Structure 1
Amino acid sequence: MENIRTPKVENVRLLDRSSGQRKATVGTLYLSATHTIFVENNPETRKETWLLHSMVSSVERPPTTPAGSPLILRCKDFRVFQILISQERDCLDVQASLVRLSRPEKFSELYCLSFNPNVNKEEREESWTFMDLMADYRRMGVPNNLWLLSAANSEYRVCDTYPSQLFVPKSATPAIIVGSSRFRSRGRFPVLSYFHQDTLAAVCRCSQPLSGFSGRCQEDEMMLQAIMKSNPGSEFIYVVDTRPKLNAMANRAAGKGYENEDHYSNIKLQFIGIENIHVMRSSQQRIIDVGDMRSSSMTDFLWGLENSGWLKHIKAVLDAGVFIARAVADEGVSVLVHCSDGWDRTTQACSVASILLDPFYRTIRGLMVLIERDWVSFGHKFSHRYAHLDGDPKEVSPVIDQFLECVWQLSEQFPCAFQFNERFLIAVHVHVYSCQYANFLGNSEKERRDMRLRQRSHSVWPDLWKDRAQYTNPLFQAEQSQSQGVLRPNTSPYCFKMWKALYNHVDKSTPPHQSPADFLSAVREESQQLEEELTNHQEVPAGGTAHHQAAGSRQEDRRSDGETDPVDRGPGSEED
């Protein structure tokens, strides 16, 4: 609260530009330690708009106008709010407060850590047991006689950005693991990400080798040999370097680089060409700018979309997943995936491949498990990439945004294969940035353990699961998704679309229409009601009614449960 200069300002005008709102509403603006709150003056509606400070990306102050001093709040979920304050002094105070509140300097300032953790203690503890990653590995069929659970990284001794529990090839000894980790950037040695039971091929992940121009490591070569041996049906493995080859070659000058096929005789090296975090950051900013264009022509919009390069980058990430999935499912060949440090492009490629390979990850719970495994536990740098704390802006990049968009693009091509709808993907996106829950704080499992987040906050997954009815895709056909098995998307450029719902690109000239998903849900619900009524009519015996039959059935049920018929309780009783 010490950062709030003016906690309340009256006669403020608010315009939600991203929702298509045309006319500003007048009300009172409140600043709390965690939220900006706007309450309309209209006594009939008194509508409230709540905005978490952690969702504010920037606070801009355009020139003062005769009507007052404006502020533009741009949010991390691409909403844009325009505020007009009559007094310039109040505007400067609000701006200074919001800039500081939206850039917390320590984790304790974030919303999820700002309340008493002992309130609802049992609920908090249960929320963290909702997700069981070991159960997912068992579902895959590991451990087995090919892969085992290693204690090598217990207490994060070998790699502090990896989880403490890791699956490695059965023939990989502790000496091989330690030696390989010393030859890999940040110590991120090759480990299992996904095991395909049908072909026994695996998707593994790591970081780039510290090979330079001529360096080699016997233990690392033995580790890749062990991965190959863990797939009895293949005589080689693919090593997928997700970077553009020129970038990987440039890293060799710094003593890093990529695997030399002369040293690793059992590999086939494949470069994919996903750009780095800096290219992606500027690309997304350009796509946001396209949405901000007012009264733009179709030519301007298409030029802006093409110039951003955003869909080209989405295609590159999806192409990486497609290559891995085909190698595993069609060729039966294991794949080792890496980029530079193995926590951005590697994570994208492995998780997209899992979505393509396994129908489980196309369910609501399955996507939760996948994000918790490939993103959270394997050390994706959430706090740096999504600016949870005030830090280096060059570390910020929309890495998980691109993964979620790849999933959305797939759901557009395969509308019956996904249990969840785009609302679920957008909800996950919001929670990654909002810091309302602690799942996505910190940059590694070790950091989260050291911060004792499970004792100080709640997990997001149970709450999303409770609301799964609104996140369910009415077109989902579980049988079809299972029978389809591997998804084989078309990644031709014409197949990619602009994700309007994420970027809040609404048609400002017309009122919002009911979404197709909502319409289908309503139709399905009505159809079920009609089918039930039809069934009741068909079951009615001659001289009876559906109502009488249903009442008789209820009485029969009570008798079978040991209950007697209710006595007459008189007028106004519950049975009337």
Structure 2
Amino acid sequence: MEFAELISTPKLDGVILHAPFQEPIDGTLCITGHHLIVSTRKENVQELWLLIQAIDAVEKKQHSSSNQNNGISMGGGTIVLKCKDFRQLQLDIASGNDFLNVYSSIERLANLDKPELSYPFFYRPMYNILEDGHSLFPLEAEFAKLLATEEWRISHVNRNYSVCKTYSSVIIAPKAIDDNTLIASASFREGGRFPVLSYRHENGAILLRSSQPLLGNSNKRSRDDERILTAVLGPHKKGYIIDTRSSNLVSLCKGKGGGTEPDGHYTQWNKIFKNLDKLVKCDGSVLDHFNKLIDACNDVTISSDKWLSRLESSHWLTHVQNVLSTACLVAQCLDKDGASVLVHGTSGMDATLVVTSLAQMILNPDCRTARGLQALIEREWLQAGHPFQLRHSKFCYSNVRSKNHQPTFLLFLDCIHQLHYQFPYSFEFNTQMLIVIFEHSYFSNFGTFVGNNEKERKDLQLAEATTSFWSYLNRPEVMTNFLNPLYEPNKSAIWPSIAPVSLVLWDDLYLRWIIDQKYQRSAARKIQQLIQNDKDLRTKAIRMRKQLVDLQKELLSLNLETEVESED
């Protein structure tokens, strides 16, 4: 298929663009296979380059006009583009035919569902690649210290993705457990997602994740699965199973063949149910709640009372609170109790990953660095099989979204934002880096978030055909913009308040096209400059101090030589 076949009107003059925080632009619209471009000959007017993948919904409002016989005919109209970064753009087109052609062209291009037709496969960077982000965080390197012990090993049992198609080809497994046991346990878990290592705390406590066991109505048992969990705990130790579902949902899942671990067969494990059902069920309700939040943010006419009411009724911050609460519980079990924890819901690809990732963010200071966050996203989201392609193909504005479209990853980033808000000195990166990661997970020049799991990415040959987002982000001139000038390394755990009064709306993200952020950006640049000047002064003072010491040594040497000569 050629992109030209989908584009009825590739170029059109006299299009008026309305965009946030700028005057309307009367210019030329160009439609390519991957971009909308609006340019003008006026000086000091920035042209628009919009990746079509960024468009979540296209709406048309056709205008009517009167002809010479006082009849009504259809004239041009307005096309509204609602984007996945919450921006809303408007194109005014005078001609009726051109209006319909442009609308249909954008609609067709915005709904292509083949990953290999997306822009990352056509993008070629105009800069040197300093490091290949596709191979930057191999699992073996991330767990190198742990693998040097006598407790854990690398398993290639899933090398062909035949055991679990959503796991990576490399698995970290207990040394006491052979591959046959892993295979048998996989048949007992939803989607083959048997218990795997997520994190080892400094006190030796282990964090595991998996999917639900497949008990069925007969309460089927898996001794191999029990053997894995026993090997992780060791004799006479207790652990916790954090099931991210309510007991009611577990009962419903059991009626469909699933369930939770029977107490009689997992005697060393204490079970705790957490009500994150809306994240686990993937019924679209979380996205519906998020849509209510964005609708409220976009309504600039409502009063303060109604705004607060609509914010509360969206339940978005309730989801944030519930997830943070569960992550804190997991972190407390690991850190305070020294107990190992297994986290799972139904499939283990949504709420499970949010909770295990945030628990590490709370406990592990490495995750609060720029590289550490990237490594965390790689192993807990990309390598762990979070279906980005499925979850992010549509967003909050689309009318054709399904139950598979969920903002789970955005919820994770919002929770990091809450931690950053409460502990602003403990993160090497600023919240703008979180926003950039959010954007590229939904639409990007890069291939990092294409596909639903490692198997699909290998089938698509992403490492050979696309550039990694991490390769771009880690370029010094880029990363400098996302470093926190107030950062002071903190080796301790950070324990956030989860009280409702402590949680805040992420206005830098959700309101950035409603409230102009230029003053905040200007203030941030000034802070960065002041801190840089302070660093420069410190460097200069250290250099002068060193020069002074060298001068003193030289004077002392001259004095000694003078004394020797006088004695002679």
Given the two structures, how large is their TM-score scaled by the length of structure 1?
A: 0.86
C-alpha offsets along residues 61-84 of structure 1, whole Å, 9 cap, x if unaligned? 135277951111111111111121
Stretch of structure 1 that moved more, 497-506 or 425-434: 497-506
Aligned with residue 290 of structure 2, among 281, 284, 288: 284
Q: Name the residue aligned to 2:404.
A: 395
- In the alignment, does 2:525 pair up with 1:526? no
C-alpha offsets along residues 38-71 of structure 1, whole Å, 9 cap, x if unaligned? 11342x2242111101111000113527795111
Q: Name the residue aligned to 1:471.
A: 482
Mark the CA change 1:143 to 1:164 in structure 2 (over 3 Å): closer, same or farther: farther
In the TM superposition, what are the counterparts of 1:384-533 in structure 2 within 5 Å? 384-387=390-393, 393-466=402-475, 467-478=478-489, 481-482=490-491, 485-505=492-512, 508=515, 512-514=519-521, 516-531=523-538
- In the alignment, does 2:350 pair up with 1:347? no
Aligned with residue 207 of structure 2, among 203, 206, 217: 203
C-alpha offsets along residues 442-486 of structure 1, whole Å, 9 cap, x if unaligned? 1111111111111111111021011110000011012xx12xx21
In the TM superposition, what are the counterparts of 1:206-285 in structure 2 within 5 Å? 206-213=210-217, 214-229=219-234, 235-274=237-276, 275-276=278-279, 277=282, 278-285=284-291
C-alpha offsets along residues 88-113 of structure 1, whole Å, 9 cap, x if unaligned? 22121111111111111312210011
Q: Secondary structure at the match of 2:212?
A: coil
Whole-angstrom distance in 2 between the partners of 1:346 and 1:509: 36
Are the equivalent residues in 2 in contact too, given 1:124–1:459 (CA < 8 A)?
no
Whole-angstrom distance in 2 between the partners of 1:404 and 1:509: 22
Whole-angstrom distance in 2 between the partners of 1:74 and 1:325: 39
Are the equivalent residues in 2 in contact too, given 1:28–1:41 (CA < 8 A)?
no
Whole-angstrom distance in 2 between the partners of 1:37 and 1:90: 16
C-alpha offsets along residues 101-156 of structure 1, whole Å, 9 cap, x if unaligned? 11113122100112579x99x949834333333221114x3352222212222222
- In the alignment, does 2:45 pair up with 1:8? no
Aligned with residue 181 of structure 1, among 177, 186, 194: 186
Mark the CA change 1:104 to 1:203 in structure 2 (over 3 Å): closer, same or farther: same
Tell me, which stretches of 5 or more residues in structure 1 are unaligned? 542-548, 550-576
Stretch of structure 1 that moved more, 106-115 or 350-359: 106-115
Mark the CA change 1:124 to 1:536 in structure 2 (over 3 Å): closer, same or farther: closer
Mark the CA change 1:268 to 1:65 in structure 2 (over 3 Å): closer, same or farther: farther
Are the equivalent residues in 2 in contact too, given 1:354–1:361 (CA < 8 A)?
yes
Whole-angstrom distance in 2 between the partners of 1:540 and 1:168: 56
Whole-angstrom distance in 2 between the partners of 1:206 and 1:540: 60
Are the equivalent residues in 1 in contact too, given 2:27–2:38 (CA < 8 A)?
yes
Are the equivalent residues in 2 in contact too, given 1:104–1:388 (CA < 8 A)?
no
Q: Secondary structure at the match of 2:37?
A: strand
Q: Secondary structure at the match of 2:80?
A: strand
Whole-angstrom distance in 2 between the partners of 1:437 and 1:367: 18
Superposed displacement of residue 279, structure 1: 1.8
Whole-angstrom distance in 2 between the partners of 1:428 and 1:358: 20
C-alpha offsets along residues 268-322 of structure 1, whole Å, 9 cap, x if unaligned? 1111211233221111111110111132111111111101000000111111211
Q: Secondary structure at the match of 1:183?
A: coil
Whole-angstrom distance in 2 between the partners of 1:400 and 1:533: 44
Q: Name the residue aligned to 2:82.
A: 74
Stretch of structure 1 that moved more, 369-378 or 86-95: 86-95
Mark the CA change 1:517 to 1:376 in structure 2 (over 3 Å): closer, same or farther: same
Q: Name the residue aligned to 2:70.
A: none
Mark the CA change 1:110 to 1:321 in structure 2 (over 3 Å): closer, same or farther: same
Stretch of structure 1 that moved more, 504-513 or 256-265: 504-513
Are the equivalent residues in 1 in contact too, given 2:139–2:170 (CA < 8 A)?
no
Q: Secondary structure at the match of 2:342?
A: strand
Tell me, which stretches of 5 or more residues in structure 2 are unaligned? 66-74, 552-568
Mark the CA change 1:65 to 1:509 in structure 2 (over 3 Å): closer, same or farther: farther
Whole-angstrom distance in 2 between the partners of 1:209 and 1:57: 36
Are the equivalent residues in 2 in contact too, given 1:195–1:202 (CA < 8 A)?
yes
Whole-angstrom distance in 1 between the partners of 2:176 and 2:114: 44
Q: Secondary structure at the match of 1:70?
A: strand
Mark the CA change 1:172 to 1:332 in structure 2 (over 3 Å): closer, same or farther: same
Whole-angstrom distance in 1 between the partners of 2:115 and 2:540: 56
In the TM superposition, what are the counterparts of 1:322-341 in structure 2 within 5 Å? 322-341=328-347
The one-letter code of the counterpart of 1:307 is S
Superposed displacement of residue 536, structure 1: 7.1
Aligned with residue 155 of structure 2, among 147, 150, 156: 150
Mark the CA change 1:357 to 1:36 in structure 2 (over 3 Å): closer, same or farther: same
Are the equivalent residues in 2 in contact too, given 1:387–1:393 (CA < 8 A)?
no
For this pair of structures, how many residues does the alignment match? Answer: 527
Q: Name the residue aligned to 2:566.
A: none
Whole-angstrom distance in 1 between the partners of 2:545 and 2:189: 70
Q: Secondary structure at the match of 1:61?
A: strand
Mark the CA change 1:221 to 1:285 in structure 2 (over 3 Å): closer, same or farther: same
How large is the RMSD of aligned CA atoms in angstroms?
Answer: 2.5
Mark the CA change 1:41 to 1:300 in structure 2 (over 3 Å): closer, same or farther: farther
Q: Secondary structure at the match of 1:220?
A: helix
The one-letter code of the counterpart of 1:405 is D
Are the equivalent residues in 1 in contact too, given 2:134–2:448 (CA < 8 A)?
no
Q: Name the residue aligned to 1:96.
A: 104
C-alpha offsets along residues 486-532 of structure 1, whole Å, 9 cap, x if unaligned? 11111111111100111234565896444553332121122234445
Mark the CA change 1:458 to 1:124 in structure 2 (over 3 Å): closer, same or farther: farther
Q: Name the residue aligned to 2:164.
A: 159
Mark the CA change 1:101 to 1:493 in structure 2 (over 3 Å): closer, same or farther: same
Mark the CA change 1:11 to 1:239 in structure 2 (over 3 Å): closer, same or farther: same
Q: Secondary structure at the match of 1:178?
A: helix
Superposed displacement of residue 408, structure 1: 0.8
Whole-angstrom distance in 1 between the partners of 2:456 and 2:510: 31
Are the equivalent residues in 2 in contact too, given 1:362–1:417 (CA < 8 A)?
yes
Aligned with residue 299 of structure 2, among 293, 304, 310: 293
The one-letter code of the counterpart of 1:439 is T
Q: Name the residue aligned to 1:107.
A: 115
The one-letter code of the counterpart of 1:220 is D
Given the two structures, how large is their TM-score scaled by the length of structure 2?
A: 0.87
- In the alignment, does 2:176 pair up with 1:171? yes
Q: Secondary structure at the match of 1:349?
A: helix
The one-letter code of the counterpart of 1:180 is S
Whole-angstrom distance in 2 between the partners of 1:129 and 1:12: 44
Whole-angstrom distance in 1 between the partners of 2:188 and 2:484: 45
Q: Name the residue aligned to 1:25.
A: 25
Whole-angstrom distance in 2 between the partners of 1:311 and 1:193: 26
Superposed displacement of residue 540, structure 1: 8.4
Whole-angstrom distance in 2 between the partners of 1:80 and 1:114: 26
Mark the CA change 1:538 to 1:173 in structure 2 (over 3 Å): closer, same or farther: closer
Superposed displacement of residue 535, structure 1: 6.2
Are the equivalent residues in 2 in contact too, given 1:124–1:458 (CA < 8 A)?
no
Whole-angstrom distance in 1 between the partners of 2:143 and 2:36: 43
% identity of equivalent residues? 32
